[in-house]
Amino acid sequence: MTRQQLTILGCTGSIGVSTLDVVRRHPERYGVFALCAHSQVDKLFAQCLEFSPRFAVVRDARLADQLATRLRQAGLPTEVRHGVESLVAMAAAPEADAVMAAIVGAAGLEPTLAAVRAGKKVLLANKEALVMAGELFMAAVRASGSILLPVDSEHNAIFQSLPANFGRGLAACGVRRILLTASGGPFRRTPIGALAAVTPEAACAHPNWVMGRKISVDSATMMNKGLEVIEAHWLFACPPERIQVVVHPQSVIHSLVDYEDGSILAQLGNPDMRTPIAHALAYPERIDSGVEPLDLFKVARLDFESPDFERFPCLQLAYDALRTGGTAPAILNAANEVAVQAFLDRRLSFLGIARLIAATLAGLPAGAEGSLADVLAADAEARQLAGRLIHDQRVQ
């Protein structure tokens, strides 16, 4: 069997680490062409020692020099590069059969789009690529013939619950709705009056999933689910009014598809990202992911409830941005990234996250998503405005 060569964008994050764990279990099937990280040199060095990639990429020249020296001393031939241009090159390299797109936030857009334009099999864990530039991104998929496989647990569940020919249109396949599940995060039952005092530590303590700090805060505000609504719209060509968020605290049902004949198909499993990663890596085959089988007797019950839009205004903001279209989702995403970082730095309150996003959207009219340059310009403007609003203390 010829080993599939992988480029992993965001190899030191939770998705990257889980991807390498699945790869570790199947050395006869997968090899690592390039490992790309931001700044966690120690972690990347250890990954290079184990997986011997041809290339390693980090943020800047200083970190690249540090890593290169350590690899040379260890006798490894891995070539070290740095910067966005190198990320793009690794994503589009002819030697890479598949690309795991797991860089968090807007930084993942350009290399992920490069992988798509190169016609790669793209395992999409970076939802911001579709949130910011969904129209451009999906047009590039169609033009290049790239195979796009969703890795977010919810979108992977939807993918598994749809017929293989869903690309001809959901209505033609008898699909009535997409039901996107959400855990509700750590504050599902917290009195609304207490949310003003929420700390970064509390927001990052997710009840079911082990995730990075940014995505943990997004889960706590339910902006993560809002971004997933936008992502689902583009992935499955589904209008926003047919995407319904369902709060499901156990995180056992990862999402569902409602059909016209009354059937609802769902994908269930333990809350472990190795399941969707293994599915996307091996598709259309199935391989061992290392995840324990789901014990339904232990789960015992499954609960569902409607999302509280008063408690989670970020979810409504995401729906509104999707309906507005153009660059509105890119503005939403940029403002959210600035807001979350400010919250983690204790410069903005938890409730201030939604207020800052709303103020940024109100202050920047959405334009057309005509090109990548338009999207990146909207992203930059939104970040500048959000930063000014925080600096001037107009949003707290």
Residue 91 and residue 163 share a domain: no
In a domain, 25, yes or no: yes
Encode pLDDT of 106-156 as tens digits: 889 999 999 999 999 999 998 889 999 999 999 999 999 999 999 999 999
At residue 127, the pLDDT reads: 87
Contact yes or no for 330/128 (Cβ under 8 A): no
For residue 284, tell me if it sits in a domain: no
Is the domain of 129 the same as that of 176?
no
By mean pLDDT, which of 34-48, 185-199, 235-249 is the weakest?
Answer: 185-199
User: What's the mean per-residue pLDDT of the chain?
Assistant: 95
Structure confidence at residue 370 as a pLDDT band (50, 70, 90): confident
Please tell me the total count of domains within the chain.
3
Chain segment 292-307, per-residue pLDDT in tens? 999 999 999 999 999 9
**Integer angstrom CA distances of residue 147 from 89, 98, 138, 278, 373:** 19, 9, 11, 16, 24
Same domain, residue pair 21 and 99: yes
Judgement on whether residues 21 and 135 belong to the same structural domain of the protein: yes
CATH number for the domain including 25?
Answer: 3.40.50.720
Does one domain contain both 162 and 212? Answer: yes
- CA torsion sign for 114, 120, 125, 127 is positive
Domain that holds residue 217: 153-271+304-315
CA distance 384 to 223: 20
Q: Following CA atoms 237, 370, 124, 48 in sequence, which dihedral angle do they give, to the nearest 10 degrees?
A: 170
Q: Per-residue pLDDT for 207 more than 80?
A: no
Tokens of 389: 């609003």
Q: What is the pTM of this model?
A: 0.93
State residue 393's pLDDT score.
Answer: 79
**CATH number of the CATH domain containing 340:** 1.10.1740.10
Q: Which pLDDT does position 156 carry in this prediction?
A: 98
Q: Exposed (0-12), middle (13-18) or buried (19+): which is 30, by Cβ within 10 Å?
A: buried
Q: Which of the four pLDDT bands, split at 50, 70 and 90, describes residue 95?
A: very high
Q: Of 103, 124, 150, which residue sits at a domain end?
A: 150
Q: What is the mean pLDDT of residues 267-292?
A: 97
Residues 55 and 120 in one domain: yes
- Domain presence at residue 291: no
- pLDDT tens for 371-382 read 999 999 999 999
Give the mean model confidence (pLDDT) for residues 52-56: 98
Regarding whether 211 and 261 lie in a shared domain, the answer is: yes
